[in-house]
Structure 1
């Protein structure tokens, strides 16, 4: 029996059970300002994570609600709707977030549908984010598709999306880079990824939404070799993030003495 068929059968039974559910059958899921009421039986039938949650009575006392972390309100509504209909929404703008939520709550069929949707909308600006998300959530098909796309479109490594991925998810970028055939085994690491990016004409002063550059992140995590490669490529050691901190400020705050010395050299 396939996973989809099994879920369909158990969900049908759960819906029938709602007729005599009595009190306590409803639960309120809360994500930020969004509140969604749903039947426990339906959620539990579709998701092993919800089933375990209700079995261990993890509802908040007196109000019968569950706080859903890391899921935005609109995505939560789509997630709950899927548990009732078992139909994946065809909404390209939410496929990435919905895949993460489906993975978290064990909705394998929804996760697979979102994975196919991400593959179908691969583009130069989004390929880096798709590759990272595929690695983080163990999506082999999307991982292979994204890596193949990047190999055919090396300009991906010069996009802001790739720079953001390096800053936010360096380990995943290292894994993607290794699948691209670089760097060699003896040169893997953060500095190797930095050199790979710079070789593809990436901007060493690219910023995240918080105004941080790769040099800020190297200072924070103490990656001296990566910082040296960035400085050699023309990274601005005096640039300030949105909070006013320079890479040197960050290195001092984190007590990265080697980075402090490197960033104060004239």
Structure 2
């Protein structure tokens, strides 16, 4: 038994020394940039004497599902502050959550050799694990590998991965790539999947894109089918000042094929015509036409006769993908129309919870006030929109805000007999 233990110790001794020598004399062709090396530098050597500390407790067990791996506590501790903390109190076995057996083997191998043998194939998984367990050198290598693999198809998922795992360098690289290929990226399955399954992550990507360089429409629900335009004629005795969009465009506008010829044609249009078409595309939810108009130089802040922007119309109609495109193109989320209603006012009023969530995630002000002092939450209360109200409250909406008549959102809900709204909001 003693001879076997000595043989194991000698093998580990030689392996660690070999890894240290290799790291010093053979810089990897996939090495991180100088800045990344400085940030992600790991110790190349382990105090081999500590491999024998405390006798049998020198070796601990890592468990991932059915996989059990024995490793030296000293090696794990010097590589990972997380493992150092786990095994600092005499623990001899630890479960490694959210890591499969194969990935665990690669992590342990890296901690012994500082070599990531499956980096090209497993960079995303290794990055997540490296971030979670504090393997800064491996994380830096994964960032560089993913940056080198960026493509139209992988750009969005890579950006989301970078955001979730605090990879600032990879975030910037992915954002620059997406900006350069924005229309092609937005046409990929990755963009569509993020839009419908990970809207919060996509909003973070859109925020990256907005930084300066170095669902389909659903019918409105609730008690009223009143439109912003029709409510204008109802006066203010029983309702807040209504959004008053210009009448919807009735002229047909053929959707051109998404190609360079079409974009070139759109560039020949006047700024006013491009703005008109952009608002119509937002109103209709025709994403490709909207993308082409933006590519042709249409002003994302163009307004109609009542100072409503394209984002106002996308919010009113509940066109989530269209609203997302506009936000990504730099649309002002808090733009006020002629009565200072914002897109968030419209989404809350019209019963568009997905758009409400998208706008507040893009930093729209949940307490914006129109000329009557009404907030989006007042509109949600007036029309009995509970899901929209919940999203607004989660974003910091003030439930006690009073408009110019001294009415709170609860007062407004009570005025319009929406007891279910009051019950839901007060319960939450």
Q: CA deviation at 1:258?
A: 5.3
Contact 2:323–2:355 under 8 Å retained in 1: no
198, 203, 208: which is aligned to 1:169? 198
SS of alignment partner, residue 35 of structure 1: strand
Distance 1:173 1:3, change over 3 A: closer
SS of alignment partner, residue 55 of structure 2: coil
What aligned pairs does 1:1-266 form with structure 2 within 5 A after superposition?
7-9=43-45, 11=46, 13=47, 15-19=48-52, 22-57=55-90, 59=91, 64-154=92-182, 155-181=184-210, 194-197=321-324, 224-226=353-355
Q: CA deviation at 1:36?
A: 1.5
Task: Write the deviation string for residues 168-206 of structure 1: whole angstroms up to 9, x where unpaired.
Answer: 43333212112223999x97xx9797325567xxxxxxx
Larger radius of gyration: 2
Contact 1:102–1:110 under 8 Å retained in 2: yes
Task: Write the deviation string for residues 199-235 of structure 1: whole angstroms up to 9, x where unpaired.
Answer: 7xxxxxxxxxxxxxxxxxxxxxx96153999xxxxxx
TM (normalized to structure 2)? Answer: 0.42
Q: CA deviation at 1:50?
A: 0.6
Q: CA deviation at 1:82?
A: 0.9
SS of alignment partner, residue 97 of structure 2: coil
Identify the range of structure 1 (17-26 vs 44-53) with the bigger mean alpha-carbon deviation.
17-26
Distance 1:36 1:192, change over 3 A: farther
Q: CA deviation at 1:27?
A: 1.6
**What is the total number of aligned residue pairs between the two structures?**
201
Greater fraction of residues in helix: 1
Q: Runs of at least 4 residues of structure 1 off by over 4 A?
A: 1-6, 190-193, 196-199, 256-259
TM (normalized to structure 1)? Answer: 0.64
Cα RMSD, aligned residues only = 3.4
User: 1 CA distance for matches of 2:206 and 2:95?
Assistant: 36
Q: CA deviation at 1:152?
A: 1.7
Distance 1:137 1:6, change over 3 A: closer
User: 2 CA distance for matches of 1:138 and 1:170?
Assistant: 18
Identify the range of structure 1 (163-172 vs 92-101) with the bigger mean alpha-carbon deviation.
163-172
User: 2 CA distance for matches of 1:5 and 1:149?
Assistant: 27
User: 2 CA distance for matches of 1:257 and 1:117?
Assistant: 46
Contact 2:40–2:139 under 8 Å retained in 1: no
**Long gaps (5+) in structure 1:** 200-221, 230-255, 260-266
Contact 2:42–2:79 under 8 Å retained in 1: no
